[in-house]
């Protein structure tokens, strides 16, 4: 027994501090002075300098009385007489987010920067070549090492000091020396399979009654004609009718904003499970704070996925690699995912095309499929391998970045949500990729809001209540004709005879709303005119049931004389304003890309003037007023070419993405809350966003992403 502790004692001479169970109060008083006298100089120096330490739980072999026990280092928790931790009950490992308590059989590692982690978590980081603190990014001189992984470390480059600390952690040791900047670290390479059909099987669904799982609410359809009356003697071409859709609310037990392990047992069961592939840029430009914030944001995502959800991560720089297969986020899967994410390092170029190809392969090769599937892409740079223009001055071919399976998927079954980070990312390419897939593009100008931006997106993905929605409209009166449909980026079609049409909405988040503006031709009539009827059909992603809803007919009264005092429907006028603003943003962007910034500013100014004269704006409509603030901010971001290149373009593209899909995106640095409009943000997004802001180290330094 004493031999084991003498070995540990010798390790102190190498700067290793081993914490052992503390003696009882009386015994401690008797021997404390003796221990101080016998404390080796190297250990005393380690105590003063705050070097790395491993703390072992009370299940370890007890220490003989002659073994010196150094005073605890900063961040090292000592055991009380009862054997419980004095302050570690509130401590959580920054890698796996599990509690760090003594007595649970897990060794703890305290770095020289005083931050503490589970030893097996931090040693996984070292295995992948990371020698920086995941919290403060300080470079370590002494790093944890697991002897079972020693085959991955080049011999002669890293000196190893080993000490047998406990029966359970007999392989633990500290790497006393790390490679310098001029040495090349050989990282372990795991060959990928030819096919990615190694995804983990789905969680077995519980046997339940569909009546108990099905939401008590269904989607709502409301229609608003431009005017409620048209004189008998008048006919109206391009008469506007608004179709307003609203998705049902989330199940009350769903709890999207809770940590997965805090949610109720029914939380994941009562919502549609998700297959999520995140594609993360780890090129050289992401080194430092950016990568640390990315890891933290991904940690938030992992913590809020449930055991029915599955996740795979693609990391890319000059090439792409799959960190792990599509696996369920069970307790074990969560630990593996967090460790893999925290092992990431930054280097190399930016190859977005290779990354997306690999992400789609993960999805296409799946042996099993959850009902919801999506991709999240984040990049802070430009693809340096695949973007080229065949003609000088021509626009780059961004389609070369998008896998053909995404381009050919007209139903947008796998939307890709892209996040552009910082001033140097290629917003044009990311917007094009997202648009082609049916996803959104978000602009993260301030690195501090990355987690919030991810949280808002995840809040939506974890609350999908509608899939494959199609809205149909049919003219009733024989003289009524449908002339056009304005539905943004959602595919629409009008029959040749103008008697019917349809719009493919696809999926909707809980409580999400959509507006569709129709133009119809109304003939003269002596009687009330039944203009058209609207219906929709969609699939419930939880039960798989197809639900059909029939809306009320749109009827127009036909008085003998016109009602001069009648105002236009504020719902119709509001939607007209939104569409006009989106069209003006597109025209202004086109002018700015040609270098005509003054022309672009003038286009937006004309639109602002028109909006201010609308009935909705004069009535104080919140959306119409916020559109003016949005256009004004875009004008400010086009004050000069440099400002437009650094933030104006990305801000405008994110706004266009938001308006075209009528879905919230993160935009800019989000500091001016007076201009924020939450018309596209859903309650589930708000809940997840609040949860993100409430679980951050320095909430006073946080800023909120701007949804549109």
3-class DSSP assignment, residue 104: coil
Say how far apart CA 123 and CA 121 lie, in whole Å: 6
Query: How many other CB atoms are found less than 10 A from the CB of residue 672?
Result: 11
Please state the φ and ψ torsions of residue 586, each to the nearest 5 degrees: -65, -45
For residue 401, what are the CA distances in angstroms to 361, 390, 507?
Answer: 14, 15, 25
Residue whose tokens read 């009386």: 26
For residue 348, what are the CA distances in angstroms to 68, 131, 285?
Answer: 47, 18, 8
Per DSSP, what are the bridge partners of residue 418?
377, 441
Per DSSP, what are the bridge partners of residue 425?
none
- As a three-state string, the secondary structure of 590-633 is HHHHCCCHHHHHHHHHHHHHHHHCCHHHHCCCHHHHHHHHHHHH
Report the relative pairing of strands 320-328 and 108-110 from DSSP bridges: unpaired
Element (DSSP H or E) covering residue 550: strand 546-550
| pLDDT for the residue numbered 493 | 97
Per DSSP, what are the bridge partners of residue 246?
220, 513
| pLDDT for the residue numbered 128 | 59
Domain extents for the chain?
108-137, 220-250+465-566, 567-668+677-683
| pLDDT for the residue numbered 115 | 79
DSSP-H helix ranges across 273-389 = 289-303, 331-342, 352-364
CB-CB contact of 401 with 353 (8 Å)? yes
- As a three-state string, the secondary structure of 638-660 is CCCHHHHHHHHHHHHHHHHHHHH
Taking the domain 220-250+465-566, which CATH number applies? 2.60.40.740
| pLDDT for the residue numbered 192 | 85
| pLDDT for the residue numbered 411 | 86
Buried b (16+ CB within 10 A) or exposed e, 180-215: eeeeeeeeeeeeeeeebebbbebbeeeeeeeeebbb
Which tokens is 255 given? 């709890």
| Range 561-569 contact pairs with CB under 8 angstroms and sequence separation of 24 or more | 561/231, 562/229, 562/231, 562/234, 563/229, 566/227, 566/228, 566/229, 567/615, 568/226, 568/227, 568/615, 569/224, 569/225, 569/226, 569/227, 569/242
Say how far apart CA 669 and CA 447 lie, in whole Å: 8
Rounded-to-10 torsion of CA 151, 152, 157, 158: -80
HSE on the CB side for 395, CA within 13 Å? 11
Element (DSSP H or E) covering residue 661: helix 649-661
| pLDDT for the residue numbered 113 | 74
CB-CB contact of 515 with 494 (8 Å)? no
| pLDDT for the residue numbered 399 | 83
CB-CB contact of 585 with 637 (8 Å)? no
3-class DSSP assignment, residue 33: helix
CB-CB contact of 215 with 465 (8 Å)? yes
Say how far apart CA 626 and CA 675 lie, in whole Å: 6
Sign of CA pseudo-dihedral 659, 661, 667, 671: positive
- As a three-state string, the secondary structure of 130-187 is CCECCCCCCECCCEEEEHHHHHHCCCCCCCEEECCCCCCCCCEEEECCCCCCCCCCCC
In order along the chain (708 residues), what is the average pLDDT of each group of 10 residues? 50 41 41 40 38 41 36 34 37 72 68 75 68 72 51 34 31 34 41 92 66 69 96 95 96 61 50 97 95 96 97 97 97 96 95 96 97 97 77 72 90 95 93 96 92 96 97 97 98 97 98 98 96 97 96 95 84 97 98 97 98 96 92 96 96 96 84 50 94 66 45
Buried b (16+ CB within 10 A) or exposed e, 221-235: bebbbbbebbbbeee
Say how far apart CA 668 and CA 207 lie, in whole Å: 46
Per DSSP, what are the bridge partners of residue 172?
146
For residue 143, what are the CA distances in angstroms to 56, 101, 125, 134, 422?
Answer: 17, 21, 10, 12, 32
Report the candidate in 549, 553, 456 with the shortest Cα–Cα distance to residue 509.
456
3-class DSSP assignment, residue 381: coil
| pLDDT for the residue numbered 299 | 96
Query: How many other CB atoms are found less than 10 A from the CB of residue 568?
Result: 15
Say how far apart CA 85 and CA 550 lie, in whole Å: 62
CB-CB contact of 656 with 431 (8 Å)? yes
| pLDDT for the residue numbered 138 | 72
Please state the φ and ψ torsions of residue 336, each to the nearest 5 degrees: -65, -45
């Amino acid at each position: 027994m004493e031999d084991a502790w003498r070995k540990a004692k010798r390790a102190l001479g190498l700067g290793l501090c081993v914490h052992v169970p503390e003696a009882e109060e009386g015994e401690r008083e008797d021997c404390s002075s003796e221990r101080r006298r016998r404390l080796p100089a190297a250990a005393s120096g380690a105590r003063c300098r705050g070097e790395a330490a491993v703390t072992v739980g009370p299940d370890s072999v007890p220490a003989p009385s002659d073994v010196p026990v150094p005073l605890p280092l900063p961040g090292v928790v000592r055991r009380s007489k009862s054997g419980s931790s004095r302050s570690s009950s509130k401590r959580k490992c920054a890698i796996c987010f599990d509690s760090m308590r003594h007595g649970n059989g897990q060794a703890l590692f305290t770095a020289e920067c005083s931050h503490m982690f589970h030893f097996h978590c931090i040693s996984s980081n070292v295995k992948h070549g990371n020698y920086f603190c995941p919290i403060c990014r300080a470079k370590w001189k002494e790093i944890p090492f697991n002897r079972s992984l020693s085959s991955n470390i080049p011999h002669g480059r890293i000196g190893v000091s080993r000490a047998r600390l406990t029966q359970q952690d007999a392989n633990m040791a500290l790497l006393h020396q790390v490679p310098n900047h001029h040495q090349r670290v050989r990282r372990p390479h795991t060959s990928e399979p030819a096919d990615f059909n190694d995804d983990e099987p789905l969680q077995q669904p519980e046997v339940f009654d569909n009546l108990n799982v099905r939401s008590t609410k269904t989607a709502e359809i409301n229609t608003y004609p431009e005017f409620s009356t048209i004189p008998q003697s008048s006919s109206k071409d391009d008469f506007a009718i608004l179709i307003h859709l609203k998705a049902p609310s989330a199940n009350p037990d769903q709890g999207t904003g809770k940590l997965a392990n805090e949610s109720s047992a029914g939380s994941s069961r009562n919502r549609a499970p998700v297959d999520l592939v995140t594609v993360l840029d780890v090129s050289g430009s992401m080194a430092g704070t950016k990568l640390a914030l990315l890891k933290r944001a991904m940690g938030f995502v992992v913590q809020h996925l449930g055991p029915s959800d599955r996740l795979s991560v693609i990391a890319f720089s000059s090439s792409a690699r799959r960190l792990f297969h599509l696996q369920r986020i069970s307790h074990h899967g969560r630990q593996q995912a967090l460790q893999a994410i925290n092992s990431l390092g930054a280097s190399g170029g930016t190859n977005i095309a290779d990354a997306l190809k690999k992400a789609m392969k993960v999805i296409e090769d799946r042996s099993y499929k959850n009902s919801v599937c999506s991709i999240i892409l984040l990049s802070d740079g430009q693809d340096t391998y695949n973007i080229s223009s065949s003609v000088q001055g021509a626009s780059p071919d961004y389609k070369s970045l998008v896998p053909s399976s995404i381009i050919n998927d007209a139903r947008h079954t796998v939307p890709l949500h892209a996040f552009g980070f910082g001033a140097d990312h290629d917003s044009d390419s990311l917007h094009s990729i997202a648009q082609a897939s049916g996803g959104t593009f978000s602009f993260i100008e301030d690195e501090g809001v990355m987690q919030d931006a991810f949280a808002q997106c995840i809040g939506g993905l974890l609350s999908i209540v509608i899939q494959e929605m199609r809205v149909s409209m049919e003219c009733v009166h024989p003289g009524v004709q449908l002339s056009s449909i304005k539905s943004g980026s959602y595919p629409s079609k009008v029959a040749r005879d103008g008697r019917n049409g349809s719009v493919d909405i696809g999926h909707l988040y809980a409580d999400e709303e959509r507006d569709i503006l129709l133009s119809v031709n109304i003939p003269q009539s002596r009687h009330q005119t039944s203009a058209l009827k609207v219906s929709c059909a969609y699939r419930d992603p939880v039960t798989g049931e197809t639900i059909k809803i029939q809306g009320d007919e749109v009827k127009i009264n036909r008085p003998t004389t016109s009602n001069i005092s009648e105002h236009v429907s504020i719902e119709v006028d509001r939607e007209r304003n939104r569409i006009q603003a989106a069209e003006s943003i597109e025209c202004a962007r086109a002018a700015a890309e040609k270098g005509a910034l003054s022309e672009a500013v003038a286009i937006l100014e004309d639109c602002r003037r028109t909006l201010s004269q609308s009935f909705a704006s004069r009535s104080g409509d919140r959306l119409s007023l916020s559109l003016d603030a949005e256009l004004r901010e875009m004008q400010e971001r086009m004050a000069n070419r440099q400002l437009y290149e650094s933030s104006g373009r990305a801000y405008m593209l994110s706004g266009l993405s938001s308006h075209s899909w009528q879905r919230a995106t993160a935009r800019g640095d989000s500091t001016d809350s007076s201009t924020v409009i939450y018309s596209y943000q859903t309650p589930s997004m708000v809940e997840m966003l609040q949860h993100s802001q409430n679980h951050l180290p320095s909430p006073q330094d946080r800023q909120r992403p701007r949804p549109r």
